Structure 1
């Protein structure tokens, strides 16, 4: 069983081969802690691990069933030294876990043992299941400790390792997912791969359990070493072969975008919304691609499919109607029963998609959902510095002390009646489908079961009054729910995902006219720039408790650059454009594929694995190349430097073969390609704030376009930007009144103070958004 976080089969990512894994200078630390199967534990190492455990403080609760009298853990392994919440979850397993690194790899070579590599993340349900069933099992742990070097990896810290070995899993005809389980030679070449395995034969109907598999592989390693090594070499050779970048082609035409739209339309669920079958993932970039198609071609069908999907997700159980925010995915076609974890990257992208939906249709529900998600992030996912945590778990504690998926988020009629007056409890039951039998293991997931208009008619009130009553009731339920044991939160700060959320806050602040969201974005961006970089100014992938972990990857740079460009537009602050160009210079110097165009995932002086990944297709998180392509177009428009646009063209050309062959797998790249083929405009609105400036901004807000940069401010603000944005040099508020300038590559239309003229210059005329009430 897998945790299917890659919706719909996508083309395999393109890799760049590295001929061999060089020898590492680190010496093997062959000391062993006191764990099952360890014949001669090191007293010195055991003391080190005990001291490290005590350093976590008196409130530290070991995550293990193996406890000594008094509550101390019976076992501790080297993961206790790590900062990753996922790795720390496994620090007291009886398994002799090691973090990935030269010491662990040197130990495997020194002991001539295969490597048992387990990759997962802290909020992964089936990772938890495999931990409880297998990694807490002393017999299985003893066998691993005697015959393997066991390594744990947090995929969110090391996406390069995750991508590489997931590719191997897929090559060996195993369905991908997490936990990922691979067995490697001491030199890191895979010869066995899979995902979740039950502990023993027959459990969950499995023919072979993990213990039997481990024994069989050890037997083969001892009796048929050459055959096994030949298999590993073959898999590695296929990885290298698949990693050879295709020669760059021409920049694809818009026909590739149109083909992707047709492919998406063919998978559309016209009854329940969404694309494809269960399990259904939000896929916000695919929704955005359909919205863009609707705006570009006037294709009402594309807009309708996108809008109906946004409504279905917001009305279903995928959305947390009490606390805000979206769960990971829906296990059914109705968007009713979710997998209950919440990921920062999903919610950031969904805010962006709902803002697109609001701009394209004027539906106030979409703006309301975006606000509720951002408010959830402020309440529950923001650290004291203003940065954003990574995720919350699917599992939560029941009153009996057992971990169950979704318990925290579900309700019974009795719980509603205990929290609310009888009439309000009845309204909530009707609106959100709460019944005695429930819709999820005897409890009820909230969803929009009864239309607001129907309920208002039954209650003898108007929709606005009912909306207020429901909102007040949900606020009460939120306070009641907050008394329950909350799901585990992963508190690490991931640069790429923070970039996504900063972009979402900044864009929401600009589009919705809410300065408080822009302030949130500024606070987070300032903190990220201050705390997520080393002394040379290079990004860390993650930080936890102030400790930087791992050099940043392509998506960290691309995500933060996107955020800084959006914040430049939302705030008019020149500092953010300067920071964006500085980070782009680092990306160009250390990650650029000079020969073929596009960017590698890791820096040129990073750890050399079997292959150096060059991300292509868009999955749950967009490819860093897709994000970088639009960043480069925006930088070109802002700075007037043509080399940025040329680099964007080379990104498109580097992906041309796969993009043309599998266009549906590249929705975020196609958004950038659509912008490339459009009139890419530079727009300035110069003048003091007030009603006249707001009238000009209203035109821009209701005529959305990815092929546009917009700078807003008074003469002093935009004058400070003019050093980096040369086309601003002669743009002033005429007669002291707000004035709009529309330009294309420095060639400008006549300045105007008239909103209708501005709309004509932009090439789009649309009616004002609806201002009706949004449904809670």
Structure 2
């Protein structure tokens, strides 16, 4: 955008050469590092600032101390910033879209525990301060709370599609529901909680999910989207959501979700057989559903606590798409009521394995579990030991 374009020599004067060398600015432009750097030739003769050399080496080359070099560089950046600040700003698209935030919720929730396994002292560059993986969970929860507060109607159990200076009039689409439910599942599994799981878009005759609500008068043709492109299709994500729910709840509810998942995939059977490359995420859903018994990792203990956080990070330390992580604090009445309603096996495990002074982990297949462990190292070893399934009791 023009607001970010400068003629460096005119603005920086005597220090322009230092700035240009630091940021690899060339008279012919620097967007030619490869044939893919500028495939449409939009940046011919232009430069995108990039640091390719060490500051100490450049300072030595110019015969100055590193501090003097950095001071001059800082002055140059401030001058350019001040010039930019005086220009009219372009339109800012700052609306909040439920589907995109659902994807972001998933990413930040996962990062909160995956990054916890990084070496001590590792700095993470987002968000804000970025030195504590807990910040990622806070961002995920903030996004989920915003959607619940501003874009979800608890009476109708409906979502609105987006928010800018207030909720939009557009109702939520399939992607909004599918991506948000996926995000909430991740928010729960990686340490938070899940609130609602909605079946609004189930096409009870055809078995798949439509991309728009049936009551929208502006839509003449409703399409069952199945292409996994830059964004996954809502049906693919919905299928995976259903598979995950199958191993989280029990009894008739689990059977119900499995039946819906099987019916959904059956609708796209020909697509999966003939054009599997177009629906990679739906292929993942089909593979996940074909597993006779998904693995459950059940954590029982006081939340929040450092011991619980460490055990939860251990549960997520190894990648396994056929693993579900369930955590429960038996002293939390609301949590116990939730699991007694949706999966009494989990509630029973919590009552039988609770210890006030530690967090207990059970690794199960169809909720038949191996002996409990109470250290992150033991849990990681158990999850990485492929042959340990034979020891289920």
Q: Name the TM-score, length of structure 1 as normaliser.
A: 0.38
8 Å CA contact 2:22, 2:55 repeated in 1: no
Say which of 705, 727, 730 aligns to 2:345: 727
Task: Tell me the distance in 1 between the aligned counterparts of 2:14 and 2:203.
Answer: 59
| Structure 2 match to 1:673 | 286
How far has the Cα of 1:691 moved from its partner?
6.0
How far has the Cα of 1:608 moved from its partner?
7.0
How far has the Cα of 1:720 moved from its partner?
5.8
8 Å CA contact 2:105, 2:143 repeated in 1: yes
Q: Deviations over 1:30-69 (max 9, x none)?
A: xxxxxxxxxxxxxxxxxxxxxxxxxxxxxxxxxxxxxxxx
How far has the Cα of 1:625 moved from its partner?
0.2
1:663-742 aligned within 5 A? 663-678=276-291, 680-688=294-302, 692-693=307-308, 695-712=310-327, 714-717=329-332, 719=336, 721-723=338-340, 724-729=342-347, 730-731=349-350, 732-734=353-355, 736-742=357-363
How far has the Cα of 1:666 moved from its partner?
0.9
Say which of 275, 287, 300 aligns to 1:662: 275
| Structure 2 match to 1:603 | 213
Task: Tell me the distance in 1 between the aligned counterparts of 2:337 and 2:59.
Answer: 57
8 Å CA contact 2:297, 2:315 repeated in 1: no
8 Å CA contact 1:617, 1:666 repeated in 2: yes
| Structure 2 match to 1:750 | 371
Q: 1:515 to 1:481 in 2, by over 3 A?
A: farther
| Structure 1 match to 2:129 | none
Q: Name the TM-score, length of structure 2 as normaliser.
A: 0.71
8 Å CA contact 1:699, 1:758 repeated in 2: yes
How far has the Cα of 1:419 moved from its partner?
12
Say which of 140, 145, 151 aligns to 1:521: 140
Q: Deviations over 1:56-83 (max 9, x none)?
A: xxxxxxxxxxxxxxxxxxxxxxxxxxxx
Q: Deviations over 1:430-485 (max 9, x none)?
A: xxx3323323243312456x3xxx73784699xxx99xx8xx97x96796686254
Say which of 407, 414, 436 aligns to 2:27: 436
| Structure 2 match to 1:759 | 380
Say which of 541, 564, 567 aligns to 2:187: 567
8 Å CA contact 1:686, 1:715 repeated in 2: yes
Q: Deviations over 1:372-391 (max 9, x none)?
A: xxxxxxxxxxxxxxxxxxxx
How far has the Cα of 1:725 moved from its partner?
4.3
Q: 1:415 to 1:613 in 2, by over 3 A?
A: farther
Q: 1:607 to 1:716 in 2, by over 3 A?
A: same
Q: Residue 490 of structure 1: SS of its match in structure 2?
A: coil
Q: 1:528 to 1:705 in 2, by over 3 A?
A: same
8 Å CA contact 1:499, 1:559 repeated in 2: yes
Q: Residue 511 of structure 1: SS of its match in structure 2?
A: helix
How far has the Cα of 1:750 moved from its partner?
1.5
8 Å CA contact 1:419, 1:476 repeated in 2: no
Q: 1:571 to 1:720 in 2, by over 3 A?
A: farther
| Structure 1 match to 2:121 | none
Runs of 5+ consecutive residues of structure 1 not aligned to the other structure: 1-395, 399-406, 766-776
1:71-82 aligned within 5 A? none
How far has the Cα of 1:599 moved from its partner?
0.9
The structure showing larger relative contact order (alpha-carbon pairs under 8 Å, at least 6 residues apart) is 1
| Structure 2 match to 1:455 | 54
1:238-637 aligned within 5 A? 396=1, 398=2, 408=4, 414=9, 425=19, 428-429=22-23, 433-438=24-29, 439=31, 440-447=43-50, 450=52, 455=54, 458=57, 483=85, 485-513=88-116, 514-534=133-153, 535-573=155-193, 576-577=194-195, 579=196, 581=197, 584-585=198-199, 587=200, 591-607=201-217, 609-637=219-247
Task: Tell me the distance in 2 between the aligned counterparts of 1:716 and 1:674.
Answer: 37
Q: How many residues align?
A: 336
Task: Tell me the distance in 2 between the aligned counterparts of 1:763 and 1:480.
Answer: 54
Task: Tell me the distance in 1 between the aligned counterparts of 2:236 and 2:210.
Answer: 12
How far has the Cα of 1:607 moved from its partner?
2.5
Q: Residue 683 of structure 1: SS of its match in structure 2?
A: strand
Q: 1:685 to 1:547 in 2, by over 3 A?
A: closer
8 Å CA contact 2:227, 2:278 repeated in 1: yes
Q: 1:753 to 1:547 in 2, by over 3 A?
A: closer
Runs of 5+ consecutive residues of structure 2 not aligned to the other structure: 32-42, 61-65, 117-132, 387-393
How far has the Cα of 1:511 moved from its partner?
2.6
Task: Tell me the distance in 1 between the aligned counterparts of 2:376 and 2:109.
Answer: 24
8 Å CA contact 2:20, 2:26 repeated in 1: no
Q: 1:740 to 1:621 in 2, by over 3 A?
A: same
8 Å CA contact 2:110, 2:186 repeated in 1: yes
Q: Residue 736 of structure 1: SS of its match in structure 2?
A: coil
Q: 1:653 to 1:760 in 2, by over 3 A?
A: farther
Task: Tell me the distance in 2 between the aligned counterparts of 1:480 and 1:558.
Answer: 44
Q: Residue 169 of structure 2: SS of its match in structure 1?
A: strand
Q: Residue 551 of structure 1: SS of its match in structure 2?
A: coil
Say which of 256, 259, 262 aligns to 1:643: 256
8 Å CA contact 1:413, 1:434 repeated in 2: no
Q: Residue 223 of structure 2: SS of its match in structure 1?
A: strand
8 Å CA contact 2:174, 2:234 repeated in 1: yes
How far has the Cα of 1:600 moved from its partner?
1.4
8 Å CA contact 2:150, 2:167 repeated in 1: no
How far has the Cα of 1:700 moved from its partner?
3.0
8 Å CA contact 1:599, 1:614 repeated in 2: yes
8 Å CA contact 1:703, 1:764 repeated in 2: no
